[in-house]
């Protein structure tokens, strides 16, 4: 798995133990061309890595921006996302592009309401359930410097090559 942890132009996602992953991202005060360009890059990197979510700190940028693309849903960018409502509980396996090959069960809310801004700076809000809700919670954690390994049921942690897995990687 060592080669999966190399960061270069081909694999631009920041990997543990890079300290940027443990820092709190700053709010975006104005959504402009720089943020739009960053969102485009995040969507490109996420797709190339076969991910279903990515937070700006995973590209080394401490801004509160996430992108998500769970199966069956068009890609979505959220600037300054904030989870305003939470309901229910569910446990499912998660992985992370910043910790390639490691998976484990994490408890998350089943339903959420997330508010934020789109790439044009327009206020948006979504009710999400199931996998989309899980992905948003995982990515919002990244903005707080929290990784899935901080919330995982340690007994369920296991290594599996990401390219041999059918599991979703957030």
d(CA 52, CA 108): 16
Buried b (16+ CB within 10 A) or exposed e, 118-150: ebeeeeeebebeebbbbbbbbbbbbbebebbbe
Nearest Cα to 119, choosing from 60, 65, 70, 46? 65
d(CA 165, CA 118): 32
d(CA 104, CA 110): 17
Question: Active-site residue among 87, 139, 163, 170?
Answer: 139
Is 87 a catalytic site residue? no
Point out the residues that are catalytic.
139
């Amino acid at each position: 798995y060592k080669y999966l942890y190399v960061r270069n132009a081909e694999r631009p996602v920041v990997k543990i133990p890079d300290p940027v992953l443990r820092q709190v991202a700053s709010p975006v005060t104005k959504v402009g061309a720089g943020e739009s360009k960053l969102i485009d890059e995040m969507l490109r990197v996420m797709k190339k890595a076969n991910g279903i979510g990515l937070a700006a700190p995973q590209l080394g940028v401490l801004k509160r921006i996430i992108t998500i693309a769970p199966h069956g849903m068009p890609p979505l960018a959220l600037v300054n996302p904030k989870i305003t409502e939470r309901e229910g509980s569910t446990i499912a396996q998660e992985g992370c592009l910043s910790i390639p090959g490691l998976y484990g069960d994490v408890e998350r809310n089943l339903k959420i309401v997330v508010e934020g801004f789109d790439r044009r700076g327009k206020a948006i809000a979504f009710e999400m359930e199931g996998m989309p809700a899980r992905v948003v919670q995982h990515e919002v954690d990244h903005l707080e410097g929290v990784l899935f390994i901080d919330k995982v049921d340690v007994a369920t942690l296991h290594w599996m090559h990401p390219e041999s897995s059918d599991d979703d990687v957030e």
